Amino acid sequence: MILVVETFSTPTTIIELVGNLKKAGAVLTLEADEKIKFQVPESAAHLIDMLAQHKAQLIGILQARGGRVATFPRCPNCLSFALYRRDNLGNFACETCGLKGIDEVTARRVH
C-alpha cells in the first residue's frame, strides 16, 4: 500500500509567497545564525506569519538567492533605475527626473 502524504504548504506556495512579498516592495535578508530580517510594507505584513511557520524552507530559498530577496529599486515617477541615497540609508532621490523622498517600499514595489 502506498500512502500519499500531502503537506499543507508545498515549497511552491512559499516561493509564490516570497514572490508576492517581493512585488509588494518587501526586502528579506538572511542574517547570521539563520535569522531573517523582514522589511515589509504594512499591506503585506500578514504574510510574515505564514512565512515564519515555514522558516526552514524560507532559509533555503534565501540561501539559493544569495541571502536576499528584493527587487531592484526604481523611480515610481519615471521608472528609472538611476536612484541614489546617501550612505545607502533613508529615502532615494531620482537622478533622471529629480524626484526626491522616494521611500524604500515605494521604490521596490513592482508598478
Interaction of residue 43 with Zn ion, rule CB under 5 A: no
Residues 13, 29, 39, 96: which binds Zn ion (CB under 5 A)?
Answer: 96
CB of 38 to Zn ion, least distance (A): 27
- Identity of the residue numbered 76: P
Q: How many CB atoms lie within 10 A of CB 81?
A: 12
Residues 78, 84, 90, 110: which binds Zn ion (CB under 5 A)?
Answer: 78
CB of 103 to Zn ion, least distance (A): 14
Q: In 18-82, which ranges are E strands? A: 27-31, 35-39, 68-69
CA distance 53 to 74: 31
Judged by the rule CB under 5 A, the positions of this chain that interact with Zn ion are: 75, 77-78, 80, 94, 96-97, 99
